[in-house]
Amino acid sequence: MPELLLQYIWFKGLFRSMLQFTTDGKPVEVISVGQHNFDQGPDFSGAVIRIDGIEWTGNVEIHVKASDWYKHGHQRDKAYDNIILHVVRQADKQVYTTQGEAIPQCELRYPENSTYLAHLLSDRTSVCAQQLLGHPELLHTDWKAALLRDRMEKKNASIEQLLQQTHYAWEQAFYITLAHNFGFHTNGLPFELLAKQTPLVFLQKHRSSLFQLEAMLYGQSGMLTETTATDEYRTSLLREYIFLQKKFSLAPIDGSLWKHMRMRPQNFPEVRIAQFASLLYNTQSLFASMLQETDLKKLRRLFAVSASNYWHNAKMGKAAIDLLLINSVIPYKYAWGKAHSSESMQEDALRLLHTIPAEKNHVVERWEMLGVEIADAADSQTFIHLYQDYCLRHRCFNCDVGYQIFYVHEKN
């Protein structure tokens, strides 16, 4: 039996039809199974259990065999000292806290019709897929709204970490996030490193010159060297960068981090850097502008930039702009609203997602294959979050869809 199955039986209370006892014969009454914990520490927290008439509140740990307690090293971990009941399938050994105190154990008794449950747990993804194909109503509106809000809160947490690193310089933090997203996943990391190595304040000192902005960013990328400066324009950029490098004591990132394979020329990192420079050049205060603007068309115009003539005036496409809005602008609007106790700004950010077309990627396509309607960016963000934070992490018990599938099966 997998441990996950035993956790599920506990979580759903499938043992309640049978009397439970500790291994030394004391009656056990489970008032509350507690909250399932998916991070480090005991499996369930805040459980309420009555043992031999005495009520206890604390944590519950679940193992197939009691001896797994020692395999996992819990006898040396103080986080497990507040275990009020060790729930097992087989109590092959007594377990103790770090202080040497014996922990009550219960060999969980439940109806022996667990074959389907074991199968369900071994192939949860396909079972969910089969159920959703026939029952799309499982993905109800309230659950989707909760997932979207959860997605925004997760992004807000990442922004908060970056704000701490930048001493709450919102404009600098936004610039770093925006740079990362200019890398469009493939080159997100080097673009982020480039921004961190090139403080926005240095670029703002030269924002009146597109050439100098290009020189500083391209030089800092590590891709502009004597070897790559093979024509007059790149040679000029290199000369300008050497001047700026000395002026600001700059150090470029490792140029080998950038990827070009299987990429169209208009998506090359050099072109994206030139477009990024153009964006900084064309907008007096990008952060303030994006915070104030609520109209989608006007927001798109803010980011509708082209690279300079040397890069054949390559334009940012509409789909690329929308991705920048989804992953940079809207999360910062939401975060700013949260930080300044503005519910209206948070709601505006969520509403804006409903005006942008859905993203196109393999995760969205998988949901669409199941017949799920992905109407807009709010939907695509919702189902990306569901896939990444629930499906991939096997958090079926915390998912409304998974809960309903398990529940419906039991009732039938």
Task: Give residue-wise pLDDT tens across range 25-72.
Answer: 999 999 999 988 766 789 999 999 999 999 999 999 999 999 999 999
CA distance 69 to 97: 10
CB 222 within 8 A of CB 228: no
Q: For 174-197, what is the mean pLDDT?
A: 96
Query: Over 80: is that where the pLDDT of 308 sits?
Result: yes
Least confident of 9-13, 33-37, 68-72, 401-405: 401-405
Q: Would strands 83-90 and 54-65 be described as parallel, antiparallel, or unpaired?
A: parallel
Query: Over 60: is that where the pLDDT of 183 sits?
Result: yes
The confidence band for 209, taking pLDDT boundaries of 50, 70 and 90, is very high
Give the pLDDT of residue 410.
44
Give first-to-last CA distance, the chain, whole Å: 23
Higher pLDDT, 268 or 410: 268
Give the pLDDT of residue 36.
81
For residue 183, give both structure tokens: 């890398």
Q: For 215-244, what is the mean pLDDT?
A: 97
The confidence band for 411, taking pLDDT boundaries of 50, 70 and 90, is very low
Give the pLDDT of residue 125.
65
Query: Over 70: is that where the pLDDT of 235 sits?
Result: yes
Q: Where are the domains of the chain?
A: 3-113, 148-353
Query: Over 90: is that where the pLDDT of 224 sits?
Result: yes
Percent of all residues in the chain with a pLDDT value above 90, rounded to a whole number: 74
Tell me the residue type at 113: N
Nearest to 253 by CA among 227, 225, 211: 225
CA distance 68 to 53: 28
Work out the angle between the directed axes of helices 232-248 and 210-220 (0-180°, nearest 10): 80
- Long-range contacts formed by 262-270: CB under 8 A, 24+ apart: 263/186, 266/314, 267/184, 269/183, 269/187, 269/190, 269/191, 269/221, 269/223, 270/218, 270/221, 270/223, 270/311
Give the pLDDT of residue 180.
98
The confidence band for 241, taking pLDDT boundaries of 50, 70 and 90, is very high
Mean model confidence pLDDT for the chain = 91
Digit-coded pLDDT (tens) for 85-104: 999 999 999 999 999 999 99
Nearest to 190 by CA among 273, 307, 119, 263: 273
Give the pLDDT of residue 396.
75
Query: Over 60: is that where the pLDDT of 214 sits?
Result: yes
pTM over 0.75, yes/no: no
CB 58 within 8 A of CB 83: yes
Q: For 243-264, what is the mean pLDDT?
A: 94
Query: Over 80: is that where the pLDDT of 80 sits?
Result: yes
